[in-house]
Amino acid sequence: MNQETSRDYCSWLIHVKLSRIVAMVLAILIFTPLITHFYLSKVERSSYLIEHGAHSHQDLNEDFYMFKESDLKVGVEELLRIRGSVLSELRDIEKKRQQYKQEIQSYAKNIEELKLELSHQQTSLNRLKISVEQAQVAQHEALQQNTPDLALPKKLTVDTLPSILPPIPRNASIHCRMYNCFDHSRCSLTSGFPVYLYDPDQFPVMNDGWDVDGFLKTTLKQTLGYNPHLTNNPKEACIYLVLVGEALKDTDDVSENVGNHLNLPPLDSEALKRLPFWGGDGRNHILLNLARRDLTTTSGDIFSKTDTGRAILVQSTFRSDFFRPGFDLIISPVLGPPGGDVWQECAPMVPVRRKYLLTFQGEMKMLKSERNASSRTDHFDDIEDSDADVDKFVIDHLGSLSESETSDKFIFEFVCNPASDNNINSGSQDWALCGTDTSRRSVLKMSTFVLIFAPRHVELVSTTLLQARVYEALRSGAIPVILGGDQTRLAYDEVIQWRRAAIFVPRARITELHFLLRALPDEDVLLMRRQGRLVWERYLASVQSTLDTIVAVLRDRLNIPALPADNFKAMSVFNETFQPIQVPVASDAEQEESLGPLEPPFDSPAYRRNYSLSLVHGHAVWNEWGDPFRLYPHLPFDAALSADAKFLGSGRGFRPIGQGQGGAGKEFSEALGGNYAREQFTVLVLTYEREQVLLDSIARLRGLPYLNSVVVVWNSPRPPSPELRWPDIGAPVRVVKAARNSLNNRFLPLDCLRTEAILSVDDDAHLRHDEILFGFRVWREHRDKIVGFPGRYHAWDLNTKNSWLYNSNYSCELSMVLTGAAFVHRHYLHLYWKWLPQAIRDKVDEYMNCEDIAMNFLVSHFTRKPPVKVTSRWTFRCPGCPQSLSEDDTHFQERHKCINFFTQVFGYLPLLNTQYRADSILFKTRIPHDKQKCFKFI
């Protein structure tokens, strides 16, 4: 019997029952009054004759006088008996009437239940029809698919050592480029870019009496050990790293190591050629000169007198006639710690305008005579360079600027204290740093801009001092203004967009410099300062970041994808021999409308842009997202196809509403629509010893469309009870054991999370299905934002006037959406553990609080966008639940402190306000009776 015949048969049975009930009721209502009237009329007539006989004897029948008293008594008793019988029958009739009434009510209730069940069955039938249609479409697409989906690249490496080739002439190496001096055959696109490091103790390459700085040797080996590209197998290596500098002479005389620029410690060419994998010409070898001192003269640098063959040179100082663009690499000197959190080194980014508009601290060095001058003009007495007049004019102009009547304040120091300790020697550079690192930093923290002079020698495209001054400026939040910047190159400039973080001014524009700086609005000044901090933290701040950046730039040149980001292994809370008890759960009474198809779980396509990401979004990866070091399965910034592409050649996976014609609620529920192909979401739940609350929450997810799986992070050290009966909701439920009790575990990038969309929920959050699906649809249009339900905001403390408060009151402005019920992109889980400073996660563990605030800070910092609040929900209540952390008196005080501490770590407050929330289209729109709304209650 098919579905329609069964439905007709049920309707006929209901009709027959209703007809019988109506007939019985009519019979009772008609015959009961007639019988009652007959008996009552007979009794009433007899009583009337008795009562009126004494008044009118003439009207009495003569037979009446023949009755005896006994007969009258019998008649009265008979009448009384009849009256009692009638009353008894009336009571029985009333009782039956009440019974029939109850039966009618019961039948009516059954009818309503049958109607409701019919509606539910009709909804389920519609959902099954939609699911079948979607499955048919997916099957048709699978049959038509010609190319497989890309996944993680399979590693393919060489298994031989470099062959021995004849060396190239020394004068030919100046023409080396990647296409003619690099062996691409050792670096397959799927090789993963393995890197081999020569141990500097086993393979020294310096001349006798010279050695590499011990700090650099130790730090290099330690930090490179954390780089996932490092390999110990030289046969599979793509490149070979050789540590060359910083070189120090083996002597107790420190003066021989500082400023000894005429007798350079050249490399040992023969030692280079003796390297076991040199291959005769040094191809694919990287010579690292990580010098913190400038050992360059006008005649050359540490490499100028050495035959380096086809090796790539990496250092801070380059002459134009020795620098090979696209082959050699300019880096920043290693001035920071080995690694770790570096935010403590940075100055706050606000206020935007600092005490001084522009500062400079430095002194011009003499090229022919000793430094014995005491005035600015004396510095040019012995300079024979034709640019001396230009430099004199620049200094005089800056001096007059500082003495002008402008309201802007300046600091220009052109003469250093002879006793000052210069941490960075200038070598051939004609400017030296003044003061100690601490004194310079104190001035830079009060400077909006800092002036940096380019090398006076035009043949120098970069110097260690120039890169060091940029490093110091970015660390302190002072925007570098490079005078003569049109003739220089900064570190990693082939990937870093330095014009977003620094100002390059030709020397000829010195008279317009003040006007230019004043023309920049506060918004752009803050953008440049923020960009400078991103560059400094990610690429310059430590030895670890420097080495990672060098490897990433070289890999980026070859368009080799980075290695995939690490996931946390999802360890089940159950052992291999125990299987949790699963029980079916009743149909959810909330399902009053068809919300979407019921489909088997399918994962979001991953690693589809392994080789196109660097081509299309290379600059964004380096300059906006700030993470070119790892490959992620998907990003919230992935581009969407145009609307017509879905119908003209690129429609696989898309589910347009009404097959492209659009529509109201019915068509809306049949397809996801939107700008992206079909997808599902994962529910991620963090729980701690609230077992029944958790099970009830999971049970409410039964029959939820687009649900891929439920992942429960078991935060308690005590395993769940074996007697727990886990609900079978039609989707996989995975219970993952946490290493320790931490709220940071809410955002673990677990390897069992297979979708881009992650619905992060508390174990006591009660969301209707339509609310969840509405939030999911909104998130699909705002994939880079947090999209959720409970809204909060940061408020200025009017009492102290120097701090922020966390506020949960009703407000027309929001800046946070709590992750106790919110959609986030899976990529942010990686960033939470990989990018977010450890100090923030430590603070979350200290307070057992604020992980949701930290995620809002993180997302707003990366996107510069506020979150999206959906529906009118403001908070959640769970009657009968155990006391939650948020009910503690100290909860709000801790959250106040978290906002202020996180602001200190980030250097500014990244949260942005929003003044709207999202409700569904047609929510309050009058529509025709034959149309459905998108969602009935949203």
Question: Is the peptide bond preceding residue 351 cis, with omega within 30 degrees of 0?
Answer: yes
Domain-wise residue ranges, the chain: 3-144, 170-330, 343-541, 597-640+676-918
Rounded CA-CA distance 437/422 in Å is: 8
What would be the CATH architecture of the domain defined by 343-541?
Answer: 3-Layer(aba) Sandwich (3.40)
pLDDT of the residue at 62: 54
Tell me the mean pLDDT in the region 641-664.
Answer: 87
Percent of the chain with pLDDT over 70: 81
pLDDT higher than threshold 80 for residue 250: no
Percent of the chain with pLDDT over 90: 47
For residue 185, count other CB atoms closer than 10 A to its CB.
Answer: 10
Minimal CA–CA distance to 186: which of 283, 281, 273?
283
pLDDT of the residue at 236: 95
DSSP 760-801: EEETT----HHHHHHHHHHHHH-TTS-EES-EEEEEE-TTTS
pLDDT higher than threshold 70 for residue 830: yes
Tell me the mean pLDDT in the region 261-272.
Answer: 68
Q: Which residues make beta-bridge pairs with 504? A: 482
Question: How would you class 923 by CB atoms within 10 Å of its CB: exposed for 0-12, middle for 13-18, buried for 19 or more?
Answer: middle
Tell me if 125 sits within 8 A of 132, measured CB to CB: no
Tell me if 766 sits within 8 A of 697, measured CB to CB: yes
pLDDT higher than threshold 80 for residue 872: yes
Minimal CA–CA distance to 713: which of 819, 863, 843?
819
pLDDT of the residue at 382: 35
Tell me the mean pLDDT in the region 594-617.
Answer: 88
pLDDT higher than threshold 60 for residue 52: no
pLDDT higher than threshold 70 for residue 507: yes
pLDDT of the residue at 55: 45
For residue 159, count other CB atoms closer than 10 A to its CB.
Answer: 7
Q: Which residues fall within 8 angstroms of residue 539, CB to CB, at 6 or more apart?
A: 332, 491, 492, 496, 545, 546, 549
pLDDT tens-place string over residues 736-751: 999 999 999 999 999 9
pLDDT higher than threshold 80 for residue 226: yes
pLDDT of the residue at 557: 95
pLDDT higher than threshold 70 for residue 370: no
Q: Which residues fall within 8 angstroms of residue 626, CB to CB, at 6 or more apart?
A: 534, 538, 835, 862
pLDDT higher than threshold 70 for residue 90: yes
pLDDT tens-place string over residues 547-558: 999 999 999 999
Higher pLDDT, residue 201 or 236: 236
pLDDT higher than threshold 50 for residue 877: yes
- 567-to-108, 274, 648, 752, 796 alpha-carbon distances in Å: 58, 41, 37, 9, 38
Q: Phi, psi (5° rounding) for residue 676?
A: -125, 160
pTM score, whole prediction? 0.83
Higher pLDDT, residue 334 or 67: 334
Higher pLDDT, residue 177 or 374: 177
pLDDT of the residue at 2: 53
Rounded CA-CA distance 904/343 in Å is: 9
pLDDT of the residue at 148: 59
SS (H, E, C) 436-448: CHHHHHHHHCCEE
Tell me the mean pLDDT in the region 670-687.
Answer: 93
Q: Where does the pLDDT of residue 431 fall: very low under 50, low under 70, confident under 90, or very high at 90 and above?
A: low
Minimum mean pLDDT range among 252-256, 819-823, 915-919: 252-256
Tell me the mean pLDDT in the region 425-445.
Answer: 72
Tell me if 758 sits within 8 A of 826, measured CB to CB: yes
Arithmetic mean of pLDDT over the chain: 83
Rounded CA-CA distance 836/749 in Å is: 13
Residue 105 host element (H or E): helix 69-144
Q: Where does the pLDDT of residue 770 fall: very low under 50, low under 70, confident under 90, or very high at 90 and above?
A: very high
pLDDT of the residue at 367: 36
Give yes or no: 852 in active site.
yes
Domains 343-541 and 597-640+676-918 share a fold: no
Q: Which residues make beta-bridge pairs with 584? A: 728
Question: Is the peptide bond preceding residue 523 cis, with omega within 30 degrees of 0?
Answer: no
Q: Where does the pLDDT of residue 83 fall: very low under 50, low under 70, confident under 90, or very high at 90 and above?
A: confident
pLDDT higher than threshold 90 for residue 128: no
Structure tokens at 441: 């930093």
pLDDT tens-place string over residues 454-470: 988 888 999 999 999 99
pLDDT higher than threshold 90 for residue 69: no
Rounded CA-CA distance 370/379 in Å is: 10
Structure tokens at 851: 């992980």
Helix (H, G, I), strand (E, B) or coil at 712: strand
Tell me the mean pLDDT in the region 847-864.
Answer: 96
Higher pLDDT, residue 119 or 223: 223
Rounded CA-CA distance 295/263 in Å is: 10
Higher pLDDT, residue 127 or 360: 360
pLDDT of the residue at 179: 94
Higher pLDDT, residue 804 or 396: 804
597-640+676-918 fold: Spore Coat Polysaccharide Biosynthesis Protein SpsA; Chain A (3.90.550)
Question: How would you class 889 by CB atoms within 10 Å of its CB: exposed for 0-12, middle for 13-18, buried for 19 or more?
Answer: exposed
pLDDT higher than threshold 80 for residue 628: yes
pLDDT higher than threshold 60 for residue 883: no
pLDDT of the residue at 132: 76
Rounded CA-CA distance 216/836 in Å is: 27
Q: Where does the pLDDT of residue 904 fall: very low under 50, low under 70, confident under 90, or very high at 90 and above?
A: very high
Q: Where does the pLDDT of residue 567 fall: very low under 50, low under 70, confident under 90, or very high at 90 and above?
A: very high
pLDDT of the residue at 826: 97
Higher pLDDT, residue 135 or 33: 135
In 662-768, which ranges are continuous DSSP H helix?
A: 665-670, 691-699
Task: Find the catalytic residue in 294, 391, 763, 852.
Answer: 852
Helix (H, G, I), strand (E, B) or coil at 824: strand
How long, in residues, is the chain? 938
